[in-house]
Chain A
Amino acid sequence: MNTITEAYVDSLAPNAGAIKNGRDLVRKNSFPVRCITVDHTLLFGECKGSGKEPYRCSIDFIQEGSPVFRCTCPSRQFPCKHTLGLLYAYASSSSSFETSDIPAEIADKRDKAEKREEKKQAVEKEGAAKAPRKVNKSALVKKITAQLEGIAILEKLVLQVVHNGLGSIDKKMVQLIEEQAKQLGNYYIPGAQAALRELLLLLREDGDREANYGYAIEQLIYLQALVKKSRTYLEQRAEQPDLPMETDSTLEELLGHAWQLAELRELGRTKPNTELLQLAFLSYADHASNEFVDHGWWIDLEDGTIRVTRHMRPFRAAKQMKEEDSLFSIVQTDELLIYPGELNARVRWEHARFREIGEADYHRVKQLAIASYPDVIKKVKNQIKNPLSDKMPAALVAFQSIERVNDDTYILRDAQNKQIPLATNLLEAPHQPHVILGLLQPEELRNQAALIVFRHELESGRLVAQIMSIVTDRRLIRLLY
């Protein structure tokens, strides 16, 4: 069984409310019965409830990476606050747990689960022997035709806006675009729809529309590029529906395709035996696609690639979905699934184990940092010059020093005295990263590594970066989350 720490339990919780309730239960001494089996694969106990009978809850670690939560309470959430509370109790005082035999009812459940798993694997084996899913050609062509129609609508709209000018956009025009955006929902291009909504958000700012013109123009450029590239791509596929989907670029995802894990496996986009360390985390609301996004930046301890996890929770369904959080352990997975992408491809995994971070890991991360700024800047510029690319690539860079220039500008300096200017407005947070720099130890501002995210500043013509985290020999300093 993994070492159970508070942070580990936090990571299992579906949301902040469950964390609070779980902790409250422990604080109020609600667990009179706490047990652990001799082989340490099962934690179980009783929790005082509001009714007559206490709730019986348990956490089964028979499959290390995926614990099974069971509880007799009526809550539909898993893990419920009782199982979380029991885990917190274990994290803070494992000695208060009595060694005991596995209760009969749980042994029964385990048996049933095992049988179910065996059956499932047998079916899967059978299924795998068959050919990969057959594509219904006519349905596909129908879909592509609809997509092309949607693209055409989008193009017409974009050209109309450019033709009339941004200054002429009044309430009526905004309403029209809104309606069109809604309409696009019928054409299987949700990604393009969201991009149009982005434009709307920029135009709808009643406050300072002028300041947004630059970004609006960039968004129009993006939309036009999307139109052109997808039209070529879709027309090709309409003629040859058997062609595999494009994976050299992110075009499919930009149109709105949600890659299934099975698809990624079929395309061979997996990597075995990977260890990932989370360097930074952020959660934000995307009003263009109406969802919450839990965004993590990770480093692959083997080759130093910066990977990204993106967990989307549509506003409407957000309550039922698990919220992700900062993670303070190393993730080990036998199968890392990699989405088509650029410098920071999106990844996912189904099963994972956790292990504690050690100083050796921090050393490793520093070794993997890019030492030469001209190198990384070249890579970044190469990506962002493409209108459809991810405009905010992240990289782990080494720095000789973090310093100030002219009193107000902060910079990173590499060993050859090349600089990268720093900004604080690329990713939103209520706290000030540069104030926090001033609170660190002096050696932490010298000869360390930093995870930074780049962006080209339109107004000033500078390529700036924001520091998300600093990696030293002893710790990870999160300036973001």
Chain B
Amino acid sequence: MSVELLQDLQQEVRRLFIAGSALAQGDLRIAKLQPQLKQLGESAPVFNRIAEASDAVLSASREDSAVKLLELATLLSAVLHTQGKTETVGELQSIQSESIDLPTDMPYRRLKPLLDILSTKGQGRLEQLRQAVQDGVHLDLRALPMMCSALDETFPEIAELVAETIRTGYGDSALPLLRRQINLQGGKGDARRLLLIERLAGSEAESLVLDAAENGSVDLKIAAISTLGEYAQHESLLLEMSREKRKEVRQAAFDSLASLGTDAALNRLFEALTSSKDRELAIEPIRIANSTALIQRIIQLAEQSLETYMRSEGKERGAAIEQLNAELLCLHGSGTVVSNRNSYWHRRINSSRASEALSDAVYAVVHKLLTTRDFIAPETEMVVENAAELLLTMNTEQGNRLLLELPQEKSIVFIGFRFRAAYRLMSPAELFRAFAPMLETPSSNAARELLHVIEQLVSEQTDSSDMDASTTALAECWDSRWIHAFVKADAALLVTQFAHKPDRVVTEYLTSSLGKNASLNRHIDQRILFALYRIGYKDTPELVFGLLERRYYYYNDDNIQQLIALMPRSYIPRLRELALKPNVARPEELIAIADAMEAAPAEIIEESGPSLWRWIRNKLS
């Protein structure tokens, strides 16, 4: 059966459908095919019928052309549908089967949403993916390839979750696909693949990892290098990588050298510390290495850098100070972040075991620093702070004494260090005498800094979260006169934290601090009310109720619940009445609180205070 002829005719018919049957009359190209059709028709009748149908198209009038063309097309289509080829010429090859042991038992309604998450972009997919993984939807053979492809996701959190899921959910089963997919010249997705392969295949992946480290793209190099810190046999490769042109690669190499911890590795880190190019990169690796020998050398280096600084002038001075600063930073623990003073809240100081082992030597160099004449100056601010932080972390008596002697007049920041040191060394009364006078000019920078430090200390002392508005400073640790100093300095937050017993001045201050715009939603107002309760101000419940009446709240806030729960039982009916008012947003929450208060057993009420609150909170959750 001459299918090609029919396919040729099909092409012409298609052309006419596009151009319009109105133009079909006498079409030359169809006419050309007629003789062949008729010839074949001699042996196969269907060709005759097709030839007749084509004739009809050629000779149709404009009005009939559409019908005739459709007839031809229908006949042709029917015939061609019976001529579909099913054999393919060529060599047969078997399909490689990886024998992954996963079922295909997920129903459509659960599987499709997961596959959609993995194949589309858009918001909200992270949470949906997390839920799907938690439900085990990914444990289906059909999800495996798409999960592995999803390592290339642009949203890093999704990609990380995918990596984690592949590791824990599929394990070795994913290896064949990962190996097939990985491209050593790829980007972050392929870097994740490499890490997964290394994690899952262990030593079997060595040649791939080495290939990536030496010949891969930057992302692949970094990933490969990060896995090489386990075995000494890769030392020379790591040393080589630590001299690569790209900074990120050198950083990765330093990190791994730190894990390796061999002599040659530590020497390289020391060398890096002394070069202005790699100084910054070497700091964290040195901390991680935690080697007392290395730290010892760095301490000696610091002493030299100090001398260099004192001797030099101009540009050299600037370089020396940077060098000295880097050396000091090495003495802190891993993960330490000493940023700009203005962002104190982002500061994180960790201690280093190596430095602690060498605490005398550390003290010695810091002592030299801080007592060298004229060293403490605006240009050396950073270094001095770092040194002070070191002393603070190490918390030795001699270190604290040295801190106390910091010249406050040279920098406001020293107030904080001095105060913390003094807090450790002095008695509460001594501490008060030494520092309270600063608060007498409450608007001065010094006073503000002092209040700031005290707030931090108090917050560090209390165990609970910042959100709890009822926390207080530990009364035993502080002189009782502080609170009046705070009142005079209008430091409302501290007043609330230091209010333990009845006091007319304090009460007056607190009640007047509850301004016109007081609200149970404002943290400071919550604190004031807790403090008033604590010192026994009898009108506190009425104050709280007044604020409740003023507007609606979301009553499932711990602080608000507690403030209400502290009211005497006589308030319970008034609370129920309030819940019925129209502007209350969630009356059932308010009623629940009233119910819990009412249901409290007598013994608990007698104890009152924290145990009553715990009982009520339990009931409400």
Contacts and interface: CB of A to CB of B under 8 A. Distances in A.
Contacts, number: 210
A134 interface: no
A430 B73 CA distance: 35
Contact of A328 (B82, B91, B94, B105): B105
B91 A326 contact: no
B145 A165 contact: no
Interface in B493-541: none
Nearest to B7: A461
Interface in A322-343: 323, 325-328
B108 A462 contact: no
A347 interface: no
Chain A, interface residues (CB within 8 Å), range: 35 or more
B95 A437 contact: yes
Interface string A18-36: 0110010000000000000
B67 interface: yes
Interface stretch (A91-99, A251-259, A405-413): A405-413
Contacts of A165: 16-23
Given A403-B92, A406-B91, A436-B141, A16 B97 contact: no
A162 B104 contact: no
B194 interface: no
Contacts of B105: 7, 328
Contact of A430 (B65, B104, B118): B118
Given A159-B66, A218-B77, A439-B100, A168 B20 contact: yes
Interface in A366-418: 373, 377, 381-382, 384-387, 401-407, 409-411, 413, 418
Interface stretch (B109-117, B353-361, B557-565): B109-117
B618 interface: no
Interface stretch (A60-68, A137-145, A219-227): A219-227
Given A19-B109, A217-B14, A218-B77, A430 B146 contact: yes
A419 B86 CA distance: 6
A49 interface: no
A10 B84 CA distance: 41
A282 B18 contact: no
Contacts of B65: 162-163
Nearest to A162: B66
A441 B145 CA distance: 16
Contacts of B489: none
A46 to B, nearest CB: 20
A387 B78 CA distance: 7
A10 B95 contact: no
Interface stretch (A179-187, A236-244, A473-481): A473-481
Chain B, interface residues (CB within 8 Å), range: 35 or more
Interface string B234-274: 00000000000000000000000000000000000000000
B304 interface: no
B144 interface: yes
A476 B133 CA distance: 23
Interface string A207-232: 00000011011101100110000000
Contacts of A382: 82
A382 B81 CA distance: 9
A188 interface: no
B96 interface: yes
A166 to B, nearest CB: 5
B17 A373 contact: no
A20 B128 CA distance: 12
Contacts of A444: 97
A326 B105 CA distance: 9
Contact of B110 (A16, A407, A430, A457): A16
Nearest to B116: A430
B107 A10 contact: yes
Contact of A162 (B70, B87, B176): B70
Contacts of B143: 431
A420 interface: yes
B98 interface: yes
A405 B88 contact: yes
B463 interface: no
Given A384-B81, A438-B96, A163 B20 contact: yes
B370 to A, nearest CB: 59
B69 A381 contact: no
A328 B82 CA distance: 36
B92 A167 contact: no
A158 B80 CA distance: 22
A166 B21 CA distance: 10
Nearest to A17: B109
Contact of B145 (A283, A407, A436, A481): A436
Interface in B18-39: 18-23
A373 B88 CA distance: 14
Interface in B49-108: 62, 65-67, 69-70, 73-74, 77-100, 102-108
A143 to B, nearest CB: 27
Contacts of A7: 105, 107
Contact of B95 (A159, A225, A438): A438
B135 interface: yes
Nearest to A328: B105
A221 B74 CA distance: 6
Contacts of B99: 439-442
A284 B112 CA distance: 11
Interface of B: 3, 7, 13-14, 16-23, 62, 65-67, 69-70, 73-74, 77-100, 102-113, 115-116, 118-119, 131, 135, 141-146, 176-177
The 10 tightest CB contacts between A and B, nearest first, are: A165-B20, A463-B84, A326-B107, A162-B66, A406-B90, A481-B108, A159-B66, A478-B104, A439-B100, A430-B119
25 contacts: A10-B107, A158-B66, A160-B66, A162-B65, A162-B70, A163-B20, A163-B62, A164-B22, A325-B109, A326-B107, A328-B105, A404-B94, A406-B88, A413-B92, A418-B86, A430-B118, A431-B146, A436-B141, A439-B145, A439-B177, A440-B141, A445-B95, A461-B3, A461-B85, A462-B86
Given A326-B107, A440-B97, 18 more contacts: A159-B70, A162-B65, A162-B66, A213-B17, A217-B73, A328-B107, A384-B81, A403-B95, A405-B88, A406-B90, A407-B93, A413-B92, A419-B88, A430-B119, A435-B145, A438-B96, A441-B97, A461-B83
